[in-house]
Amino acid sequence: MNIKEIISSGMLELYVMGLASQQEIREVEAWAKQYPEIAAEINAIASGLESYAQAHAIAPDASVKEKILAKIKDETVKPFTRDNGDVETAKVYSISPAWKYAAAASIILLVGSLIFNYTWYKKYDTANKDLQLAQTELQQQKELAQSMDTAMQVMGDMNARTVAAKSIDSTVNMEARIYWMTNTSEVYIDPSNLPKAPAGKQYEFWAIVDGAPVNGGIIAEVNGKKVRLQKMKSFGKAQAFAISLEDAGPAKTKPDKVMAAGNI
Amino acid sequence: MVLLLQSRDQQAFSYLYDNYAEALNGIIYRIVENRELAEDILQEAFVKIWNNFSNYDTAKGRLFTWMLNIARNLTIDTLRSKGYKKQAKISSDENSVSNFTDDSNVAERFDAMGIKKQLVNLKPEQRNIIDLAYFNGYTQDEISKEMGIPLGTVKTRMRAAIIELRKMLEYS
Last residue in a domain, options B84, B109, B127:
B84
Is B101 buried (19+), middle (13-18) or exposed (0-12) by CB count in 10 A? middle
The SS3 assignment for A197 reads coil
At residue B113, does pLDDT exceed 50? no
Residue among A19, A64, A71 whose CB faces B39 most closely: A64
Task: Give the closest of A13, A54, A92 to B55, CB-based.
Answer: A92
Is the confidence at residue B105, as pLDDT, over 50? no
CB of A182 within 8 Å of any CB in chain B?
Answer: no
pLDDT in tens, B139-172: 888 888 888 889 888 888 888 888 888 887 776 5
The distance of A105 to chain B (nearest Cα, Å) reads 18
Residues B56 and B67 in one domain: yes
- Residue B11 burial by Cβ neighbours in a 10 Å radius (0-12, 13-18, 19+): exposed
Residues of A in contact with B57 (CB under 8 A): 83
| Radius of gyration for chain A, computed over Cα atoms and rounded to the nearest angstrom | 49
Question: Is A246:A230 a contact under the CB 8 Å cutoff?
Answer: no
Indicate the fold that domain A160-263 takes in CATH.
Immunoglobulin-like (2.60.40)
How close B133 comes to chain A (CA, Å)? Answer: 6
Average pLDDT of every residue of chain A = 85
What pLDDT, on a 0 to 100 scale, did the predictor assign at position B104? 42
CB atoms within 10 A of CB A105: 10
DSSP A209-226: ETTEEEEEEEPPEETTEE
pLDDT at B43: 92
Same structural domain, B6 and B69: yes
User: Is pLDDT above 90 for A178?
Assistant: yes
**Contact yes or no for A19 and B54 at CB 8 A:** no
Give the integer Cα–Cα distance in Å for A244 and A258. 4
Domain boundary among B84, B102, B118: B84
User: Domain residues of chain A, as ranges?
Assistant: 3-56, 160-263
Give CA separation, B2 vs A207, B6, B10, B53, in Å.
106, 6, 12, 9
DSSP string for B98-130:
HHHHH-HHHHHHHHHTT--GGGGGS-HHHHHHH
User: What is the percentage of chain B residues whose pLDDT exceeds 70?
Assistant: 74
Return the higher-pLDDT residue of B57 and A176.
A176
**C-alpha torsion angle, residues A204, A209, A210, A214 (rounded to 10):** -40
| B89 lies in the same domain as B61 | no
What's the number of CA atoms in the CB half-sphere (13 Å) around residue A126?
5
Please list every residue in chain A whose beta carbon sits closer than 8 Å to the beta carbon of residue B24. 53
pLDDT surpassing 80 at residue B83? no
ipTM above 0.85, yes or no: no
Nearest to B10 among A42, A45, A69 (CB): A69
pLDDT of residue B110: 42
Domain count for chain B, please give it. Answer: 2
What residues 17-76 of chain A have any CB closer than 8 A to a CB of chain B?
17-19, 29, 32-33, 42-61, 64-65, 67-69, 71-73, 75
Together in a domain, B57 and B1: yes
State the CATH number of the domain containing residue B161. Answer: 1.10.10.10
pLDDT band for B114, please (50, 70, 90 cuts): very low
* Strand-pair category, A201-209 with A175-181: unpaired
User: Is there a single domain that holds both residue B91 and residue B147?
Assistant: yes
> Which of A16, A24, A56 has the highest number of chain B CBs within 10 A, making it the mutation to test binding with B?
A56
Same domain flag for B105 and B171: yes
- A213 pLDDT more than 80: yes
Average pLDDT on A236-263 reads 90
Question: Model confidence at A33, in pLDDT bands (50, 70, 90)?
Answer: confident
Mean local confidence (pLDDT), B56-70 = 83
Q: Quick one: B67 and B103 in the same domain?
A: no
Contact check, Cβ <8 Å, A55/B27: no
Question: What kind and span of H or E run contains A176?
Answer: strand A175-181
Q: Which domain holds residue B52?
A: 1-84
Residue B8's CATH number: 1.10.1740.10
| Element spanning A42, H or E | helix A36-55
Do B110 and B80 share a structural domain? no
| Mean pLDDT score, A172-196 | 89
> In terms of domains, do B9 and B72 share one?
yes
Based on the fold, state whether residues B153 and B90 are members of the same structural domain: yes
Average pLDDT over residues A73-90: 54
A89 touches chain B (CB under 8 A): yes
Same domain as B104, residue B71? no
Chain B residues touching A89 at Cβ < 8 A: 54-55
Quote the pLDDT of residue A75: 62
DSSP assignments along A59-116, one per residue: PPPHHHHHHHHHHHHHSPPPP-----SSSPPPP-----HHHHHHHHHHHHHHHHHHHH
Residue B102's pLDDT is what? 39
Same domain? B89 vs B34: no
- Full strand arrangement of the beta sheet holding A230-232: A212-218, A201-209, A240-247, A257-263, A160-167, A175-181, A187-190, A230-232
What is the rounded average pLDDT for all residues in chain B? 75
In this predicted structure, what is the pLDDT of residue A129? 92
B19: closest chain A residue by CA: A54
What pTM does this model have?
A: 0.47
Weakest mean pLDDT among B46-55, B103-112, B134-143:
B103-112
Domain boundary residue, one of B84, B116, B133: B84
What does each C-alpha distance from A31 to A4, A20, A27 come to in angstroms?
Answer: 12, 14, 6
Q: Which of B25, B55, B61 sits opposite A60 (nearest CB)?
A: B25
Residues of B in contact with A58 (CB under 8 A): 22, 25-26, 29, 38
Chain B CB contacts of A75 below 8 Å: 51
